[in-house]
Amino acid sequence: MDTTSKKLAEDINRLKTARRALIVAHNYQRPEVQDVADFTGDSLELSRIAAQTDAEVIVFCGVNFMAETAKILSPAKTVIVPDPNAGCPLANMVTPRQLQEVKDRHPGAVVVCYVNSSAETKALSDICCTSANAVQVVKSIDRDSEIIFVPDKSLGDYVSRRSGRELILWNGYCPTHHRILPEDIEARRREHPEAVVIVHPECLRPVVDMADHVASTSGIVRLAKELDACEFIIGTEIGILHRLKKEAPGKEFYAASRLADCPNMKLNDLPKILWALEDMTNKVELAADLIERARAPIEKMVAIG
């Protein structure tokens, strides 16, 4: 950390204590944001940590749907975001009206909703899933039921193949993960022939099919620590490399593509965290009935384990 970042981090820590705040940062955040956070993890992990803490204020460094999920699980807490413009293009690829139209065309279908979605989308869904438990969630659904899977078609395709269930896929995708191409994996493998390839299931199908392991962000961190290999090619957003290097020192990590850099995730920085804490701005506000409706599919997911 340079001197300016160190000074900002000190000011943030002082204010954090005064405000009884907890700072959580998604695995894709800038290195200095991860370093100032109390916890780093995936979106649901962080929302659950936020719900368990006795902190009164949660500073959520991620994108908006993540902060909304934290608010849904901790309605009595103040959840603030460093930059309210940090949206997620994938989450924005489904609107409540569009989803209602598809539900109307498939009456009785079960809607499985990836956590990378707005509170409104969750509220229209039957059960949520993460990239770590999506296969398990889909397998838990009655075999006679039609299943609408929103919004990520790549994750949906992977889940369909792993679960053996036909899914009605939404035409959404993560632009950042789709920047990782099969030729990137080939090139990295030529450069590092001993490396183990781990990719996120939001990647394109040919990329998923080339990988040694397919895992969520927390799964990638776990595999990197547990596997005997010393070198890894990582096919997800490049912010995770910072956490991997910290938590698996002595191992080498290579980005499958340096283009997998989510501009929305990187909107948060130390000055914005400090401003948000100083002014207590950018609070996540959700109507009580929306919180209640969006919470139900999350709790259903948690109940299946």
Q: How far is the CB of 86 from ligand SF4 (least distance, A)?
A: 8
Q: How far is the CB of 54 from ligand SF4 (least distance, A)?
A: 29
Q: Give the list of residues 6+ apart from residue 5 with CB closer than 8 angstroms, or none.
A: 32, 270
Q: How far is the CB of 116 from ligand SF4 (least distance, A)?
A: 5
Interface characters, 205-244, with ligand SF4 (x: CB under 6 A): --------------------------------x-------
Q: Interface with ligand SF4 by CB under 6 A: which range of 77-85, 88-96, 141-149, 247-255?
A: 88-96
Q: Can residue 113 be called a binding residue for ligand SF4 (CB under 6 A)?
A: no
Cα 71 to chain centroid, rounded: 15
| Contact (CB, 8 A) for 175 and 203 | no
Q: How far is the CB of 247 from ligand SF4 (least distance, A)?
A: 20
Interface characters, 52-81, with ligand SF4 (x: CB under 6 A): -----------x------------------
Please tell me the count of residues contacting ligand SF4 according to CB under 6 A: 14
| Contact (CB, 8 A) for 247 and 253 | no
What radius of gyration do the chain's Cα atoms show?
19
SS3 of 235, please?
strand
Helices (H), 53-166: 64-73, 96-105, 119-123, 134-139, 153-163
Residue 7 CB neighbour total at 10 angstroms:
13
Q: Can residue 184 be called a binding residue for ligand SF4 (CB under 6 A)?
A: no
Residue of 31, 89, 182, 271 that binds ligand SF4 (CB under 6 A): 89
Q: Can residue 264 be called a binding residue for ligand SF4 (CB under 6 A)?
A: yes
| Contact (CB, 8 A) for 151 and 90 | yes
Residue 149 CB neighbour total at 10 angstroms:
26
Q: Can residue 116 be called a binding residue for ligand SF4 (CB under 6 A)?
A: yes
Q: Can residue 42 be called a binding residue for ligand SF4 (CB under 6 A)?
A: no
Cα 175 to chain centroid, rounded: 14
Q: How far is the CB of 88 from ligand SF4 (least distance, A)?
A: 3
Q: Interface with ligand SF4 by CB under 6 A: which range of 68-76, 83-91, 213-221, 289-297?
A: 83-91
CB-based burial label for 288 (10 Å; 0-12, 13-18, 19+): exposed
Which is nearer to ligand SF4, 5 or 64 (by Cβ)? 64
Which is nearer to ligand SF4, 220 or 262 (by Cβ)? 262
Q: How far is the CB of 244 from ligand SF4 (least distance, A)?
A: 16
255-259 long-range contacts, CB within 8 A, separation 24+: 256/180, 256/184, 256/185, 256/188, 256/197, 256/199, 256/207, 257/179, 257/180, 257/181, 257/184, 259/179, 259/180
Which parts of this chain interact with ligand SF4 (CB under 6 A)? 28, 63, 88-90, 116, 174-177, 237, 262, 264-265
